[in-house]
C-alpha cells in the first residue's frame, strides 16, 4: 500500500487551509510540509505557528520535513504545533541519535533524510531507530525540479538494507515525482510518495492522485 503526501510548497500560500482540504478530499494520505530557513537551503517557507493554524483544518497526518540548521532547537515547537512525523537531514546533524530520541519522546514518528549526494552508509547507526527514511530525489530547496535518475538505484539499495536487517521503516521519496516515474520508485521500494507540482499543478487533484496510484501499481489497480 503506498501513501501519497502532497507537498504544500506548490500550493497557493494565500489559501493554505483550503488547499489542504482540497487535496484531502482528493484522496491524500498525509500532508507534506517543507520547512526551510534560508540557511540549510536557499529558500524560506513557514514555521510552527503556521502548522499550528493548519492543524485545525484537517485530521490528516502532518509529515514535517525540516530543512533548517540546528533542528534540535525547534523539535519541541514542531511537535507541539501538531507534527505527526518529523524528518531531519543527516548532513548537518552530528548527534542524530539524540535528535531521534527528542522526536520520539514527544510521541512523534522520527525520520531521517538524505540529500541525493549523501551516501546510504551515513544511516548505518540509526537505521534500527527510525520510523521512516526520506530519500531526496532532487536537491532540496525548491519544488518543480527534475527527478535525478540515479536515485532509483539508491532507493533499491535502501530497500535491500531494510530487508537484510528485517527492518520495517517506511521509505519516502521527495522531488520531481510524476506519472512517468512513480512506477520505478515504488518498484524500487518506496512506499510514501511526496508530490508537489504534480498534484497542486494538476487541473483536477483527485484525478491526479488516482492516476498516481494507478501508475504506481503498473496501471492495473
Binding site for ligand DX5 (CB under 6 A): 7, 9-10, 32, 34, 65, 138, 140-141, 143-145, 174-177, 194-198
- The least CB distance from residue 140 to ligand DX5, in Å, is 3
**How far apart (Å, rounded) are the C-alpha atoms in residues 5 and 178?**
13
Cβ-based nearer residue to ligand DX5, 79 or 202: 202
Of 147 and 169, CB closest to ligand DX5: 147
> Is residue 89 close enough to count as binding Zn ion by CB under 5 A?
no
Q: What is the smallest separation between the CB atom of 4 and Zn ion, expressed in angstroms?
A: 14
Residues 154-193 that bind Zn ion (CB under 5 A): 174
Sequence length of the chain is 221
Least separation in angstroms between CB 190 and ligand DX5: 13
The residue with cell 539499495 is 157
Q: What is the rounded CA–CA span in Å between residue 183 and residue 190?
A: 10
Q: How many CB atoms lie within 10 A of CB 202?
A: 18
- Burial degree of 58 (CB within 10 A; 0-12, 13-18, 19+): middle
Q: Which of 34, 63, 131, 170 is catalytic?
A: 34
Per CB under 5 A, 131 contacts Zn ion = no
Q: What is the rounded CA–CA span in Å between residue 171 and residue 186?
A: 9
**Catalytic residue positions?**
34, 174
Amino acid at each position: 500500500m503506498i501513501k501519497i503526501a502532497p507537498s504544500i510548497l506548490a500550493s497557493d500560500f494565500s489559501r493554505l487551509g483550503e488547499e489542504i482540504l482540497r487535496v484531502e478530499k482528493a484522496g491524500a494520505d498525509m500532508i507534506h510540509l517543507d520547512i526551510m530557513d534560508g540557511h540549510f537551503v536557499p529558500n524560506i517557507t513557514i514555521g510552527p505557528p503556521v502548522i499550528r493554524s493548519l492543524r485545525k483544518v484537517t485530521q490528516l497526518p502532518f509529515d514535517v520535513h525540516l530543512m533548517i540548521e540546528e533542528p534540535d532547537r525547534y523539535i519541541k515547537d514542531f511537535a507541539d504545533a501538531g507534527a505527526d512525523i518529523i524528518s531531519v537531514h543527516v548532513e548537518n546533524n552530528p548527534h542524530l541519535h539524540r535528535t531521534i530520541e527528542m522526536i520520539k519522546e514527544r510521541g512523534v514518528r522520527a525520520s531521517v533524510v538524505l540529500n541525493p549526494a549523501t551516501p546510504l552508509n551515513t544511516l548505518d547507526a540509526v537505521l534500527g531507530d527510525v520510523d521512516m527514511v526520506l530519500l531526496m530525489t532532487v536537491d532540496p530547496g525548491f519544488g518543480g525540479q527534475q527527478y535525478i535518475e540515479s536515485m532509483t538505484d539508491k532507493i533499491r539499495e535502501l530497500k535491500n538494507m531494510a530487508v537484510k536487517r528485517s527492518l520495517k521503516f517506511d521509505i519516502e521519496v521527495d522531488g520531481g515525482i510524476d506519472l512517468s516515474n512513480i512506477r520505478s520508485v515504488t518498484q524500487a521500494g518506496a512506499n510514501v510518495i511526496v508530490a508537489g507540482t504534480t498534484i497542486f499543478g494538476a487541473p483536477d487533484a483527485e484525478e491526479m492522485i488516482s492516476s498516481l496510484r494507478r501508475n504506481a501499481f503498473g496501471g492495473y489497480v
